[in-house]
């Protein structure tokens, strides 16, 4: 069975140290986030490959229905995890597109800077903390 990893395991980077007077989302900062996103995307793609190999290697036709059901449930959970990661890969690709277009790091709703620390915590963030908080409050009110 492949080693379980969190979909947000992109922590192997040196935090960016902003220099006084440094322009927000300059080339160095964009390169920093491009490296984080690329590494994260690569890790997720490796997980997809490991899952395919694991499922091919472990696929057995157990005579015992309980063993078969256990294996099917394990595969089902693994496939759901991979589906979430597939969606995350698409979001990472969208984020890399924003980097290429020099639109990365700014809130989609209000246009304010999202901030280096927030982006390091969540590189695919597309809302500033204030807009995200309002979005979550609205969601809770709508869905109870």
pTM over 0.85: no
pLDDT 10s digits, 45-99: 998 888 877 777 776 777 788 887 888 888 888 889 889 999 999 999 999 999 9
What is residue 62's predicted lDDT score, i.e. its pLDDT? 75
What one-character-per-residue DSSP string does 76-136 give? HHHHHHHHHHHHHHHHHHHHHHHHHTT-TTB-TTT--B--HHHHHH-TT--S-HHHHHHHH
Domains and CATH numbers, the chain: 24-104 (1.20.120.910), 106-144 (no CATH)
What is residue 66's predicted lDDT score, i.e. its pLDDT? 86
pLDDT band at residue 6 under the 50/70/90 scheme: very low
pLDDT band at residue 10 under the 50/70/90 scheme: low
């Amino acid at each position: 069975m492949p080693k379980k990893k969190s979909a947000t395991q992109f922590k192997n980077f040196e935090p960016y140290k902003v220099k006084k007077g440094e322009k927000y989302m300059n080339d160095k900062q964009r390169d920093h986030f491009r490296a984080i996103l690329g590494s994260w995307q690569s890790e997720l793609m490796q997980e997809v490959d490991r899952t395919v190999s694991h499922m091919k290697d472990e696929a057995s036709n157990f005579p015992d229905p309980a063993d078969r059901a256990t294996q099917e449930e394990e595969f089902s959970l693994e496939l759901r995890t991979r589906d979430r990661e597939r969606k995350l890969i698409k979001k990472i690709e969208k984020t890399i597109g924003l980097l290429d277009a020099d639109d990365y790091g700014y809130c989609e709703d209000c246009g304010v800077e999202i901030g280096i620390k927030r982006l390091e915590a969540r590189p695919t963030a597309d809302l500033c903390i204030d807009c995200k908080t309002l979005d979550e409050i609205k969601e809770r009110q709508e869905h109870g």
